[in-house]
Structure 1
Amino acid sequence: MKFKIKLFLFICVLIIGSIIYCDAVVTNQAQNKVYETTETIPYNKVGLLLGTGKYLKNGAINPYYANRITAAAALYHANKISTLVISGDNSTPTYNEPQSMMDDLLALGIPAQHMYLDYAGFRTLDSVYRLQAIFGQQQFTVISQKFHNERALFIADYLGLNGIGYNAADVSAKQGLKTNLREKLARVKVFIDKFVDKEPKFQGEKINIS
C-alpha cells in the first residue's frame, strides 16, 4: 500500500512539474518577441491571424474573437503588415472560422485581395506549419492573445521560422479561467508534438502570396 501511495505521489509531482516546466519554457522563449502596441512592433509582410469561434454557447460574441479582429485591423491600418493569412477551423459546412473573420475584417476596411484563407488551421501547430508549407512564408507576425502567441512562437522556433507576436487584448480572469487552464495542458502537448515531429492534419496545394 505504501508503495502505491508513493508511486501515486511521484506521478502527481511529475505531472505538475512537467506542466510548470513547459509553461515556463514557452513563456521565456517568447520574451522580446511579443508586442502590445502598433508603435513598437516591427513591420512584417504577412500577419497570421489565428482563428476561434465567433459566438459563445450562450449566443454572445466571443471576446477572444472580437479582440483578435480588432488587433488584426489595427495592425493592418498601422501599416505593420500588408497581408493577412487567416487560419482556422472549417471542419463542417456550417462552421467556418476563417470566412467569418474575413467578413468582419472586410467591414473594417481591409481589402479582400490582401487576405488569404487557410481552412485547415485546426490547431495552432497546423496554422504555423502550413504558413510555411502552403503559403511559403518564413517570417510573419502572429495575431492572437499573448498566451496563444507565445505558444505559436515556440512552434515557429522549432520549425525554424522567424516569428513575432502582436497581442490582442485578453479577457477577464473569470472569463478566461477555462481557457487558461487548457493552455497549460496545450503547452505540454506542444512538447510532445515536437518530440514526435507532428505534422498538420492536411497539407494541400501551395498558395502564392503576391
Structure 2
Amino acid sequence: MKKAIWVLLLLAISVAGGTGSILWLNDSMTNETSSYIYNDLSKIPAKKAALVLGTSKYFHGRENYFYNYRIEAAAKLFKGGKVKAIVISGDNGSKTYDEPTDMKEDLIKAGVPEKYITLDYAGFRTLDSIVRAEAIFDLKDYIIVSQKFHLERALYIAKAKGQKVIGFAAKDLKNTYAAQKMKIREYLARTKAFLDVNILHTDPKFYGKKEKVTYKL
C-alpha cells in the first residue's frame, strides 16, 4: 500500500512539474515577443515583405474565421503600403488540401495583384515556414501575419534564428470552440517549438532551390 502511495505521489509531482514547465514556456514566449506585435496598421513599420502563415479555409466543414482574418490583415498591409510583396506559407500535403493556393486566390479577390504573391507549398509547420522564409525566399527583415497567440510562437522561432521580424496580428476569435481548441493546442506547440529550437535543432521537412519574390516598385 505504501509503495502504491509513493508511486502515485511521484506521478502527481511529475505531472505538476510538466504542467508548470508548459505554463512557464507559454508566459516566457508571450513576454519575449509582445513588443514586436502590432495591431494598428498606422503604427507598424514598413518592411519589404509579409509572411502569411497558412491555415485551412474551413474548420469541420464551416467557414474558418482565423483564415478570413489573416487574408484581411495581409491585404491591409499591402494596400496600406506597409509591404511590397506577400509570401504565403502553408500545407500542400495532398492533391485535395492546398492552403497556399486557397489563400492566394482570396488575396487576389481582396485586391492584391497576383504578381506580388509568392507561394511556399512546404510550410507544413510554423518552424518550416519561418526557416524557409530566409533559406528559400531570402526574407530576413519582414512582417509575419497571423493571430496574436500564433505570432508569439512564430516570432520566438524567428528571433532564435536571428531574423529581424515583427508581427501584425490578425483579428482573433474569442469564446468559440475553434478558438479554445486552437489555444489549448498552442500550449503544446510552444513546448515543441522550444525543444526544436534549443535542443533538437530541427530542420524543415524540405528545403529545395531558392525562389525569387517579386516586389512592387
Q: Same-fold call, TM > 0.5?
A: yes
Q: 1:32 aligns with which of 28, 31, 35?
A: 35
Secondary structure, counterpart of 1:142 in structure 2: strand
TM-score, normalised via structure 2 length? 0.94
Indicate conservation of the 8 Å contact 2:145/2:151, yes or no: yes
DSSP-derived class of the 2:63 partner: coil
Q: Which amino acid aligns with 1:117?
A: L
Match in the other structure for 2:123: 121
CA distance in 1, matches of 2:27, 2:158: 17
SS of 1:86's partner is: strand
Equivalent of 1:107, from 91, 106, 109? 109
Mapped pair 1:198 → 2:202: yes
Task: Look up the match of 1:84.
Answer: 86
Query: Would you say 1:181 and 2:184 are equivalent positions?
Result: yes
The residue matched to 1:30 in structure 2 has which SS? helix
Aligned residues: CA RMSD: 0.9
Partner SS for 2:35: coil
Corresponding residue number in structure 2 for 1:150: 152
Instruction: Write the letter of the residue equivalent to 1:22.
Output: L
Q: Quote the sequence identity (%).
A: 41
Provide, for residues 54-102 of structure 1, a one-character-per-residue CA deviation record: whole Å limited to 9, x for no partner: 0121x22101001101111111111111100000000001111000000
Q: TM-score, normalised by structure 1?
A: 0.97
Q: What amino acid is aligned across from residue 43 of structure 1 in structure 2?
A: A
Matching residue's letter, 1:203: Y
Partner of 1:141: 143
The answer to whether the aligner puts 1:55 opposite 2:48 as a matched pair is: no
CA distance in 1, matches of 2:72, 2:34: 23
**SS class of match (2:30):** helix
Q: After superposition, what is the alpha-carbon deviation per residue over 1:76-132, rounded to whole angstroms, capped at 9, x for unaligned?
A: 111111100000000001111000000001111111110100000000000000001
Contact 2:116 2:213 in 1 (8 A): no
- The corresponding residue for 1:66 is 68
Is residue 24 of structure 2 the alignment partner of residue 18 of structure 1? no
Which of 208, 211, 215 is equivalent to 1:207? 211
Do residues 45 (structure 1) and 48 (structure 2) align?
A: yes
Q: CA deviation at 1:208?
A: 2.1
| Contact 2:146 2:170 (C-alpha < 8 Å) held by counterparts | yes
Unaligned stretches of 5+ residues in structure 2:
none
- List per-residue Cα deviations over 1:128-167 (Å, max 9, x = no partner): 0000110111111000000111100000011110110000
Secondary structure of 2:143 counterpart: strand
Aligned pairs, number: 209
CA shift digits 1:20-69 (9 cap, x unpaired): 11101110110210000100100010100000000121x22101001101
- Say whether the 8 Å CA contact 2:70–2:171 is kept in structure 1: yes
